[in-house]
Amino acid sequence: MAFYLYKVIQNGNLTETVIEAASEADAAGILNRHNYVVAKFLGEQASSTTPKNKQRFTISRRGKFNVYDFTARLAPLLQAGVPLEQTLAIIEEGMRGNPGVAVVQELRRGLHEGKRFSVLIKTRESHFPPLFASLIETGEETGCLAEVAGELQHFMKETREFREYVITSSIYPAIIVLVTLTMIVLLFTFFIPRFAKLFKDTGNQLPFLTQIMLDAGNLMQAVWWVWPIIIVATIVLWKKSRNNGKMKNWKDRTILKLPFIGQIVEKIQVSRFIRTLSIMVRNDVGIIKAVNISSRILQNEIIAGSFSSVTAELRAGHKLSVALSRSQYMPDGSTAMLRIAEESGDMAEMLIRIAEDSEAQVKTYLKRLLTAMEPAIILLLAGFIALVVLAVFQAIMKMNSI
């Protein structure tokens, strides 16, 4: 990768921009795709230092690399017998213009420098999950890199499908919630105050229910500045709670206590742990190492803490089924199934079956939650509208009685 200096025009402004890319042509193409008009090429920069008063424009931005698509391209090529370096070259060619191509270029450059593929993956934890590097390392040691890549592709595909299922299933309830909140705000801040003003102009006192709603609307308008503060504070606290500490521990514990949601989070976390463990065991990764890597998948500190003693139990000579049984979050009957699998020597397949059952339960719980939310939100909205109608009706009746 090199650094190229350009004079560019965007939104009528002329500025100098430094861009990191593989070649001059790639740099110009990237600028064009981002709506920059290239006025003049000023030459190649010797280093990444950005001159004073010049903008730095780089394509190696975190979050642009799609590990799912990368794995989907990597596995078929390796299984077809294409060498790793050539495979990465083909993937790079197919990702021209994609900001994530920078990661592939770095991997290729590392291979040319004689570094192992697994080491290169480990140094890019922001782009690859912990499971990825460990399985690649196992594939390199056993000479089965193509088979391991196939396992990774299957795992990443199922993970992506499950995530998309959750997101897709949540769209309709989210829209209903947004419409409900919008209607409530409009009723209390626009409709009721206007109607109340018309009623007061007649010189009459508002009915009790109408007055309550008017006071609620006035309060919402008077303290409107509180809502942006609450939203910003919520975002800040949420981001802070993602870091390890007392706040994250409290958040994780609270989430697990929530009805329905707690069960969904619990089963998602445990199913991911078990599925990761099954893939590691199937590819002959040592059981202690497999448990350590799989534990890093767990994002909830409370659930992760329940599995913290598994490694010590295994080192003490206990079987995996016994060690996992210490956690109260293991699915019912799963440890008994594991005990049988240990005796038959088919532990990896049994772990996969347990993970699939847990994921199926997650979908069932999620479907029930969303099914219950839709009528509940509609009934809540209907209740508010009924109260507004009743308040207006009382006011009208009082006007007619005068």
Integer Cα distance of 276 and 351 in angstroms: 9
Residue ranges of domains in the chain, CATH in brackets: 2-58 (no CATH), 67-158 (1.20.81.30), 171-402 (no CATH)
* pLDDT exceeds 50 at position 274: yes
Q: What's the pLDDT at 374?
A: 75
**Residue 46: which pLDDT band, with cuts at 50, 70 and 90?**
low
Q: At residue 202, what are phi and psi to the nearest 5 degrees?
A: -80, -10
> In what helix (H) or strand (E) does residue 293 lie, and over which residues does it extend?
helix 287-295
Q: What's the pLDDT at 53?
A: 43
Q: Pull the structure tokens for residue 53.
A: 């008063």
What would the pLDDT profile of 59-84 be if each residue is shown by its tens digit? 333 347 888 888 888 888 888 888 88
Mean pLDDT of 160-181: 79
CB atoms within 10 A of CB 46: 8
Integer Cα distance of 386 and 368 in angstroms: 27
Q: What's the pLDDT at 392?
A: 75
**Residue 34: which pLDDT band, with cuts at 50, 70 and 90?**
low
* pLDDT exceeds 80 at position 101: yes
Integer Cα distance of 282 and 279 in angstroms: 5
Integer Cα distance of 244 and 253 in angstroms: 13
Q: Which of 144, 146, 149 is nearest to 133 (CA)?
A: 149
Q: What's the pLDDT at 51?
A: 46
| More reliable by pLDDT, 401 or 261 | 261
**Residue 401: which pLDDT band, with cuts at 50, 70 and 90?**
low
Q: What's the pLDDT at 290?
A: 82
Q: In 11-69, at which residue ranges do the beta strands (DSSP E only) sit? A: 13-21, 37-45, 55-58
Q: What's the pLDDT at 276?
A: 79
Q: Which of 349, 213, 345, 223 is nearest to 274 (CA)?
A: 349
What would the pLDDT profile of 115-160 be if each residue is shown by its tens digit? 889 888 888 877 887 778 777 887 787 777 888 888 788 878 877 8
What would the pLDDT profile of 88-99 be if each residue is shown by its tens digit? 888 888 887 777
* pLDDT exceeds 50 at position 28: yes
User: What is the DSSP secondary-structure string of 212-258?
Assistant: HHHHHHHHHHHTTTHHHHHHHHHHHHHHHHTSSSHHHHHHHHHHHHS
* pLDDT exceeds 70 at position 277: yes
* pLDDT exceeds 60 at position 365: yes
Q: What's the pLDDT at 10?
A: 57
